[in-house]
Each structure stands twice: as structure tokens, then as C-alpha cells.
């Protein structure tokens, strides 16, 4: 009996393998932190790219002025040409989106997804930009 208790005490005092468990826990934690940083930076970059695309599409649409604007200097946007120009810009960029024209303002919303490197789900990315036709 005394021999069995002594063996049990020796086993409980043995700390072999503790470094391995510590290393595994720290490695998993480190990989989680790296994954969050990399995927977070990628999401921010995707947001910036979506906004740049929306701004470019809205500027392209603002260039679609009507013929009367060139002849007599009136401020008028050809709605069909503006929507076609913005949609063409969006399709050339490889993203989807919505275009709306209200008076002299063109609003473009870009809708796309960001596929992270470490996290196995896609995050939606949405950005909106507005351009306004201005005459002097």
C-alpha cells in the first residue's frame, strides 16, 4: 500500500510534458492573433477598395451629362447614360452595386464580399459614394 502511494506521489510530481502543453496553447493563441490581424487588415483594404470603386463609378456617371448641358450650359444629367456608365465601371471592376440618380447627384453603392485567409467565412463589404454635377 505504501509503495502504491509513493508511486502516485512520484507521478503527480513529474512535470514532463508541461512544456509541450504550454507550447501548444501559446501556438494556438499566436495563430489566432495573426489570423485576426491579417484578416482584419484584409477587410479594411477591401472596404477601401470598394469605396474607391464606388467613387470612380460615381465620377464616371457624373460625366454622362446631357447634350443640352454642353450646348446651352444647363446642368442636366442624362439618367440612362449615367446609370449605364456607372454599371459599366462596376462590371469592369468586377463588383456588383446599385446606382441612383437624383437631380444632379449620382449615388453608387458597391456590394461585394471579402474572403478571409484564416477565417473560413466571407464578409460582406459595402461602400457608398456620391458625385454631384457642378457648373460655374
What DSSP designation does 21 have? Answer: H
pLDDT at 3: 78
Q: What is the pTM of this model?
A: 0.73
pLDDT at 34: 92
What DSSP designation does 94 have? Answer: T
pLDDT at 33: 93
Q: Is the pLDDT of residue 74 over 70?
A: no
Residue 107: CB atoms within 10 A of its CB come to 18
Where along the chain do its domains lie? 2-132
Question: How many angstroms separate the first and last alpha carbons of the chain?
Answer: 102
pLDDT tens column, 107-132: 999 999 999 988 888 899 999 999 98
pLDDT tens column, 25-45: 999 999 999 988 999 999 999
Given the C-alpha cell 485576426, which residue does it identify?
Answer: 36
Distances (CA, A) of 22 to 12, 15, 112: 18, 12, 41
* Mean pLDDT computed over 96-103: 90
Amino acid at each position: 500500500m505504501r509503495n502504491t502511494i509513493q508511486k502516485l506521489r512520484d507521478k503527480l510530481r513529474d512535470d514532463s510534458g508541461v512544456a509541450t502543453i504550454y507550447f501548444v496553447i501559446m501556438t494556438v493563441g499566436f495563430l489566432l492573433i495573426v489570423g485576426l490581424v491579417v484578416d482584419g487588415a484584409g477587410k479594411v483594404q477591401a472596404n477601401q477598395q470598394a469605396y474607391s470603386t464606388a467613387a470612380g463609378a460615381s465620377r464616371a456617371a457624373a460625366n454622362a451629362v446631357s447634350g443640352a448641358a454642353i450646348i446651352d450650359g444647363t446642368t442636366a444629367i442624362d439618367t440612362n447614360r449615367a446609370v449605364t456608365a456607372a454599371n459599366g465601371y462596376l462590371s469592369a471592376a468586377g463588383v456588383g452595386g446599385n446606382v441612383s440618380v437624383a437631380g444632379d447627384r449620382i449615388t453608387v453603392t458597391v456590394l461585394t464580399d471579402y474572403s478571409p485567409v484564416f477565417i473560413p467565412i466571407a464578409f460582406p463589404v459595402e461602400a457608398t459614394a456620391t458625385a454631384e454635377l457642378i457648373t460655374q
